[in-house]
Amino acid sequence: MTGVTTPQGPVERVPVLEVENISVAYAAARGAVRAVNNVSFTLHKGEALALIGESGSGKTTLALALIRMLVRAAKVTEGRVRYVKNGAAQDVLGLSEREIRRFRWSECAMVFQGAQNAFNPVLRLSEQFSDTARAHGKGDRAWVKRRTLELFKLVRLDPERVYNAYPHELSGGMKQRALLALGVLLDPQVVILDEPTTALDILTQRAIIDVLAEMQDRLGFSIIFISHDLALAAEMADRVATMYAGEIIETGTVDDIFYEPLHPYTLGLLRSVPRLSGSQDLISIPGSPPDLISPPPGCKFHPRCPFASERCRSEAPPLEDFGAGHLAACWHTDRVVEARQGLWSDGAVVTRG
Ligand SMILES: Nc1ncnc2c1ncn2[C@@H]1O[C@H](COP(=O)(O)OP(=O)(O)OP(=O)(O)O)[C@@H](O)[C@H]1O
Ligand code: SF4
Ligand SMILES: [Mg+2]
């Protein structure tokens, strides 16, 4: 348990998910695709952690490993996931099939990428909510209806209309709100959202983020928020973890990551976001992500890194604490500190707070 100090005094941060050295590999014809490597982090109660990184960096694989929904070809090769509730810890990877099924909705829910098709087109939403509850031992129809209507109200949907609707009667944004409601139906402590707003227009995205923040405020769950959209991640999260080639290469508070990045890759991601002022050219990170079957030696980012030295080419940097929980895996963070000067001088793309 760690402590933070607020104007009201120290507040204890209670862990709900402790991920220790998780690695995941997919069996492919050419060899093992090491999609997640030695990832560790702790998610605290009521906290929102954003996972950011380019396509293929392992965000979805990591999330699926946490709730044991990996495809058959994938295996967790090492590590541990501890889920803590009311002071008691469970070893998620050691749960039986029956226990993990209950765990998935009741303790840790996941809203997937491309959620538009998640609802069964031939069933009214009322039936889908009661089926989900029944499958997890909550057969009391009156309770399910009450809870569903309450949640629809919370996600700003017209409760009665949506309760009796078929999925095709709802817009994309409405379906996404209904899916958020379904995610928290059984009051999980952790909600994992994988690209929850992709495929929605920008106004709908913003509305969903507002709804999510309000739900979290009211229900107190913790969030793992996976997104390509750095501005949304900054708005939604308390802490951010940057993934590259299956590793967390930097983690810290939103301010640490967006205003004082220490890793060249995080800096590259920030520079590839369009500025509001439009006064600086968009700089994309040169090169492409490494082959995860035979990644480069040393720091995996070295073939793309402007600061790479001999040491980087042979020795992998450890994830080191640079103070107050701001961790980065880089031999030359001093170069990043110099290079980031002026990063936000022409108008920030993300807003603080
Ligand atoms: N079924 C599979 N078989 C082999 N490799 C896979 C499989 N699924 C994913 N991978 C590989 O695992 C790596 C991580 O993929 P993952 O989908 O977790 O990335 P991601 O960060 O979620 O990407 P995106 O932002 O595009 O959703 C990628 O290199 C991908 O090619
Ligand atoms: S360790 Fe070297 S190659 Fe890796 S990110 Fe840092 S400077 Fe770049
Ligand atoms: Mg993904």
Give the domain CATH number at 125.
3.40.50.300
Ligand found nearest the CA of 241: 1
Domain co-membership, 160 together with 300: no
In sequence order, which residues have a C-beta less than 8 Å from that of residue 291 and are 6 or more positions away?
A: none
Specify if 280 maps to a domain: yes
Distance CA 150, CA 305 (A): 50
Q: How much distance in Å is there from the Cα of 298 to the middle of ligand 2?
A: 9
Instruction: Name the helix (H) or strand (E) containing 121.
Output: none
Q: Specify whether 335 is located in the same domain as 269.
A: yes
Residues 134-147: b if buried by 16+ CB within 10 A, e if exposed:
eebebeeeeebbeb
Chain mean position to CA 267: 19
| Ligand 3 centre distance from Cα of residue 194 (Å) | 7
Distance CA 26, CA 292 (A): 10
Domain membership flag for residue 323: yes
Mean pLDDT, consecutive 10-residue stretches, the chain (353 aa), reads: 45 88 97 98 96 95 97 98 96 96 93 77 96 89 96 95 96 90 95 88 86 92 92 92 98 96 94 60 79 97 96 98 96 94 50 34
Domain boundary among 237, 256, 277: 237
Q: In this predicted model, what pLDDT tens digit does every residue of 164-180 receive, in sequence order?
A: 999 999 998 899 899 99
Residue 350 lies in a domain: no
Give the distance (Å) from ligand 1 centre to CA of residue 282.
26
In a domain, 50, yes or no: yes
* CA of 317, closest atom in ligand 2: 1
230 and 197 fall within a common domain: yes
The number of the ligand 1 atom at minimal distance from the alpha carbon of 292 is: 29
- Kindly state whether residues 77 and 181 are assigned to the same domain: yes
- Tokens 């499958």 locate to 135
pLDDT at residue 172, as a whole number: 87
Cβ–Cβ under 8 Å, residues 249 and 319? yes
Q: Are 295 and 34 in contact (CB under 8 A)?
A: yes
In this structure, the strands spanning 31-44 and 15-28 are antiparallel
Residues within 6 Å of ligand 2 by CB? 263-264, 299, 301-302, 305, 307-308, 312, 317, 330-332
Q: Can you read off the two tokens belonging to residue 342? A: 């002026």
290 C-alpha to ligand 2 centroid (Å): 14
Ligand nearest to the CA of 247: 1
| Predicted structure pTM score | 0.92
pLDDT at 206: 86
Q: Phi/psi of residue 278, each to 5°?
A: 70, 15
Domain boundary among the residues 206, 237, 268 is at 237
Q: Do 124 and 169 belong together in one domain?
A: yes
- DSSP codes joined into one string, 242-263: EEETTEEEEEEEHHHHHHS--S
56 lines ligand 1 (CB under 6 A): yes
224 CA → ligand 1 middle, Å: 18
175 and 249, same structural domain? Answer: no
Domain count, the chain: 2
Substitution candidate for ligand 2 out of 243, 248, 250, 307 with most atoms within 8 A of CB: 307
Select from 316, 332, 219, 251 the least CA-distant residue to 53.
251
Is the residue at 66 inside a domain? yes
Q: Are residues 100 and 157 in the same domain?
A: yes
- Looking at residue 158, its pLDDT comes to 97
Identify the domain containing residue 23 by its residue range.
Answer: 12-237
Q: Is residue 6 part of a domain?
A: no
Residues 159 and 301 in one domain: no
- Tell me: do 252 and 224 sit in the same domain: no
Span 109-140, pLDDT tens digits: 998 766 667 899 999 999 999 999 998 888 89
Whether residue 3 lies inside any domain: the answer is no
CA distances from 116 to 109, 123, 156, 197, 345 (A): 17, 15, 18, 10, 39
